[in-house]
Structure 1
Amino acid sequence: MDINQKDFIETVYVRGVQISLLASGDGTEIIYHKLNSGVRWALEPTEGWTALEYLLVLSGELRYPTGNGFKVLKSGDSFFKSPVTNHFIFQSNQTTEFLYITSQPIFHHYSKASHDIMDLAVSIEEKDGYTVDHCSRINRFSMLVGEQLGFNAKQLLVLNKASFLHDVGKVKVPLSILRKPSKLTAQEWEIMKKHTTYGREMLESTKVPLLVDAGPIVEQHHERYDGKGYPFGLKKNEISIEASIIAVVDSYDAMTTDRVYQKGMSKEEALEEILRCRGIMYNPDIVDIFLSLQNKMI
């Protein structure tokens, strides 16, 4: 099937994803998707949603976890549910195009919500002095660890959101504190620490189930395995496994990133520091898995 730009009624671009409305009528919508390699896309059950949802792969490959590993959809393969009653998370193994057909209209809500929340996350990483790919790297590394742990589709989907939006609460922290080149005062540090709770509150306020579920993970991602983190001083298994993953991944990326006021460490130096803090700052099981995946962290 050959799809050209002229066929699109409306198009939205969201960091590695092109979403284009091809046709709509009588409640049915046909939406073209183009995913860059490694990008994830999901279907989830929603209360009151009874639509038939169907996707047809035009080119490339989509893989998704099942109870027995992963299943791969290739060009010409299709997938449908009516309605969706479980969580499904698809990842493109290469640049992939597919049609998504739904019997209930969703495009404008779906595309705007995705665009707004991604834009907010990107604005935070730029405000905090990171490169524009910081959230994407945290997301990619976190998902590698989650898959290695055998997370089910819903766990992966929530981790996907939480890892990308882990620092979204920093939008409420003054720029003078975020970008301060010298050590923060005690008062400034207390303000900075509030970003985890701000993030949880912002995600809960959306009333979007997946974002609500991601909220507590975002709030806990600066807790430490020894109980000396914030905001609650949780320790060991009191900390959610998802937050423990983000804690390791975020630290690694922060250490290896060049920022306005600090030159990043080498990959080897950062991994040594992660290992040194195993069982102190970080969950030892997560550290072990993270280190086993180091060849994939480029």
Structure 2
Amino acid sequence: MTEYANKNDFIESVQMKGLTISMLASGDQTEIIHHQLEPNTRWALEPEAGWHALEYLFIIIGQLKLQREDGSFKTYKAGDSFYRSPITEHYVFQSIGPTEFIYVTSQPIFHRYSNVSRQLANLAVSIEEKDGYTGDHCARIANLAMKVGEKIGLSSNDLLQLNMASFFHDVGKVRIPLNILQKPGKLTGYEWEIMMKHTIYGRMILEETKLPLLVNAGKIVEQHHERFDGEGYPYGLSKEEIDIKASIISVVDAYDAITSDRSYQKARSKEEAVREIKKNKGTLYHPEIVDVFAHLQL
């Protein structure tokens, strides 16, 4: 781009799934960042140790819906603003239609924010390609998971963790050999043991970012193949031992797998997928999550 904020600062853009961020100007620790969100994209602010910035949003186009801690919602429209100094709670915003806003922070964050997001988004896309899914798999899982999380009344902090964990739930598969990951037939016992490690690898990869949000999401990623009856992996957790957010991902991931074309099966209808999930209520899947999911408008 050729437009300049001043002699030292140029506009820099980073594009991720559903979100494009562009640095407009920076100076004296302050950054002004333009955000462009596709419909139903979520964006969040969270408290962080040692972070004392003023953070300000001004809506240019569209609407942002904010879920409050008490479960109620507030909608910010074009011309509205939101600010906190410092951030002491978790705030999860959802775009209603195409939305753009200006984000101002009095402490620099753009390069850390963009570099980590770009790295992890690339990992997620590479997993979709290696594992035979379409490029929208991670986004679909996140969207469905958030619908369930909102329906059961998760807090803003839990919704934020769920959003990250659901999008990156299979990121650990980057460390699984391709001959196992893409094998068209049934895995051997040895191969299955290696495949099951992808949940642990996922937690490790997210912990390596050292970002508190992603570290916490890693714990959920590690559990998303645990089963309600205790027969899942990697630890054989059961019932309430399993994080409810991991139980949500388990259900929506199964639904997406059933309704997607894979190398080993043709896609089945939404109705067939819901019936299959209901059939495994209380064994594979958390009963409450199954009931809530079954009543969503899919």
Into which bin does the TM-score normalised by the smaller protein fall?
over 0.9
Superposition deviation, residue 251 in structure 1:
0.5
Aligned to 2:72: 69
Aligned to 2:99: 96
What's the TM-score once normalised by structure 1's chain length? 0.95
**2:230 is equivalent to residue 223 of structure 1:** no
What's the TM-score once normalised by structure 2's chain length? 0.95
- Aligned equivalents of 1:251, 1:200: Cα separation in 2: 20
Question: Is the 2:71–2:153 Cα contact (8 Å) retained in structure 1?
Answer: no
Aligned to 2:187: 184
Identity %: 60
Task: Give the aligned residue type for 2:30.
Answer: T
4+ residue segments displaced more than 6 Å: none
Aligned to 2:16: 14
Q: Which runs of 5+ in 2 are unaligned?
A: 5-9
**2:233 is equivalent to residue 204 of structure 1:** no
Task: Give the aligned residue type for 2:11.
Answer: I
Superposition deviation, residue 181 in structure 1:
0.8
Aligned to 1:237: 240
**2:134 is equivalent to residue 131 of structure 1:** yes
Q: Which runs of 5+ in 1 are unaligned?
A: none
- Aligned equivalents of 1:190, 1:260: Cα separation in 2: 21
- Aligned equivalents of 2:108, 2:59: Cα separation in 1: 21
Aligned to 2:7: none
Superposition deviation, residue 260 in structure 1:
2.7
- Aligned equivalents of 2:65, 2:86: Cα separation in 1: 20
- Aligned equivalents of 1:94, 1:5: Cα separation in 2: 29
Aligned to 1:152: 155
SS at match of 1:60: strand
Task: Count matched residues.
Answer: 292
- Aligned equivalents of 2:23, 2:223: Cα separation in 1: 38
Task: Give the aligned residue type for 2:33.
Answer: I
C-alpha distance 251-19 of structure 1, shift in aligned 2 (>3 A): same
Task: Give the aligned residue type for 1:244.
Answer: S
Aligned to 1:271: 274
Q: CA RMSD in A?
A: 1.3
Aligned to 1:285: 288
Superposition deviation, residue 25 in structure 1:
1.1
Aligned to 1:48: 50
- Aligned equivalents of 2:81, 2:49: Cα separation in 1: 24
Aligned to 2:121: 118
- Aligned equivalents of 1:213, 1:106: Cα separation in 2: 20
**2:212 is equivalent to residue 246 of structure 1:** no
